[in-house]
Amino acid sequence: MDRKIISLIFVLTSLITFSSCEPSDVDGLPQGKYYFMIINNTCQNVAIECHTTWEDYEDFTINLAAGDSVIYEGYPDGFEYIQFPKGELYIVFDDTLKYSCSYVDEEKPYYSQMLKEILNFDFVLDGPDIYLRSYEITEKEYEYAKAHPYKFEEE
């Protein structure tokens, strides 16, 4: 009797495990194309500086004029696509105000990380072949950056 119960538990566990897996879970990265869109809905020019720690990528900057937007492919990271390679990420408003998206405000942890936090991106298209997530930089982000500017390290 005990063997039958143990066998039944094993079969049920296997069925639950295998039925909950999608093909993309087994094959690695999810299928489809993953894109990210950033919209500059401010009156300022915006530069997004990415200083990556990944060996296969170089540092880069995305420049957005006021009212401009950009769409780009996501970066593979393990079993998902992310919006930027790992590393330091900054938003620079009008070449004068620099904000570190690595800053974490305990009262607003997601908001304070702005573009660095994937949960701050909204779904525009959700597959199955094309996925698009967007983030809108607004005057609210600009005001938050003014209240929490990046302070350069002392030399």
Average pLDDT over residues 142-146: 94
Per-residue pLDDT band for 58 (boundaries 50, 70, 90) equals: very high
What counts of helices (H) and strands (E) characterise the chain? 4, 10
Q: What is the pLDDT of residues 117-136, one digit of tens each?
A: 999 999 999 988 999 999 99
pTM, rounded to two decimals:
0.76
Give Cα separations from 73 to 22, 35, 38, 55, 116 (angstroms): 23, 4, 12, 18, 15
Q: Kindly give, in sequence order, each residue whose CB lies less than 8 Å from that of residue 142, ignoring residues fewer than 6 positions away.
A: 42, 44, 93, 97
